[in-house]
Amino acid sequence: MSEQRHTISELVDMARNEMIRLQYSHFTVENYSKVWRNLLKYAAEKGVAYFSEEFGEQFLRDHYKYEHGYLEREHRIVQPPRMVRVLGHYQLHGVIMHERLNSKKMQPPEIFAPVMPDFSKYLAELGLKEGSVDVVTRNIVRFLEFLSVNQITRLDLVTEAHITGFAATLFRYCSETIVSYFGSMRHFFRFLHQKGYHQKDLSIAVPRHLSRQTRSIPFIWSKEDVEKLLAAVDRANPIGKRNYAVLLLVTKLGLRDSDVQNLKLGDLKWERNYIELVQVKTGKNVTLPLLDDVGLAIIDYLKYGRPVSECPHVFLKHVPPYDRMHDFTSIVYKYMNLAGISVKNGTPHGLHSLRHTMASRLLERDVPLSTISSILGHADLNSASVYLSIDMNNLLKCALDPEEVFVSENS
């Protein structure tokens, strides 16, 4: 980005063109553009020519009655805050960091494309699972986009300053996401040095971001809210049939989003009533019972909802091309709103929270932690230890009587 300051109108045009270059869908670009047009009209009324974070917040408060990160609507939650703040981010750093794009859109700038197959092979040789390779390469594509926007056309021209500049673009991301980006960059710079793409090993220049070692207590759904969520699904239409089966797989069997996405027709062992799959995250083989209600929901979708397709995956998109779904996070928010379920702002309540809820229910029934860990497919037992923090009944048994402690210490 040039150091020249751009007017709001110029900034909007530049950000919109950048989104088009990054292959955002026409629908997404238009949604952003609608909010930006409102911003331009508001700026004209206020006589403001240049964008600032403070002006953006003022616009959100006055025009959208925005407070604390969410806008309440009858049917869904929309996010003009993201759409406004992306302008400030672009003004500062010259890049638009996508929140989520499917794998077909995550292509590197053409000038850097030839190096990516070798990098993916390098990661696989290090022993990274396919899912981890995908995450690392997506992170690096975003770094390469940053380089391209800053007119870097050769990897041997990358310097420590570019690492620092890219790191600055991550300031709004959570600690875990930043750690993921920095780890990916270390892999990439070691690869560049070892394969002769860069004279220096720049991995040592990547910041050491210390993530918190303590885990937050997972959000747990009440039994009533889970039932309301499932009841809100319209199972009379194909998409509802698909989403209902997905929600049952998570609430009843605790599957991860990535494993639901990757579930194949061949993983359904109907003759023995179980599901057998290799987990995307851990690479472990997992066998789970095909419960009656889960099986019936999947059958209903396969017979009366699933598009005709040669794709081997169970759950497909319902728009051409009919290939596998890449994300189910939004379906939880959709049916929460339809069911009138409210959650405190800032509390994670996506698909993964339903997996936490199933683990919590098992713990309440005195199912051993080792069994829960096995059901959830954790790589090690410690991964399931976070659920101890939500087993309130058993934690109460561990509580100390202050009087007993006082007497003991003074005896």
Return the residue matching tokens 């049952």. 248
Residues 326-368 pLDDT 10s: 778 778 888 888 888 876 655 556 677 777 677 666 665 665 5
pLDDT-derived band at 232, boundaries 50, 70, 90: very high
Q: Which of 281, 318, 326, 361 is catalytic?
A: 281
Digit-coded pLDDT (tens) for 156-177 = 999 999 998 888 878 667 788 8
Q: Among residues 142, 198, 313, 355, which one is catalytic? A: 355
- 58 three-state secondary structure: helix
CATH number given to 223-393: 1.10.443.10
Break the chain into its structural domains and give their ranges.
8-93, 110-205, 223-393
Residues 27 and 10: their CA atoms lie apart, in Å, by: 21
Which residue is catalytic, options 228, 317, 352, 361? 352
Tokens of 298: 């999947």
Any catalytic annotation for residue 355?
yes
Q: What is the mean pLDDT of residues 132-140?
A: 90
pLDDT value for 392 = 47
- Reference 131, options 284, 275, 316, 356; nearest CA is 284
Average pLDDT over residues 275-279: 88
The verdict on whether 397 is a catalytic residue reads no
- Give the residue among 153, 134, 131 at the shortest CA–CA distance from 144: 153
Given the residues 98, 186, 198, 256, select the one marked as catalytic: 256
Q: Which among 235, 287, 238 is positioned nearest to 259, based on CA atoms? A: 287
Assess whether 378 carries a catalytic annotation: yes
Two structure tokens written together for 405:
């402690």
Question: How confident is the model over 65-93, as pLDDT tens digits?
Answer: 765 443 444 333 457 877 887 888 788 77
Assess whether 172 carries a catalytic annotation: no
Closest by CA to 146, choosing from 130, 166, 172, 131, is 166
| Residue recorded with tokens 């319209």 | 234
Q: Domain spanning 110-205 has what CATH number? A: 1.10.150.130
Out of 90, 244, 335, 387, pick the active-site residue. Answer: 387
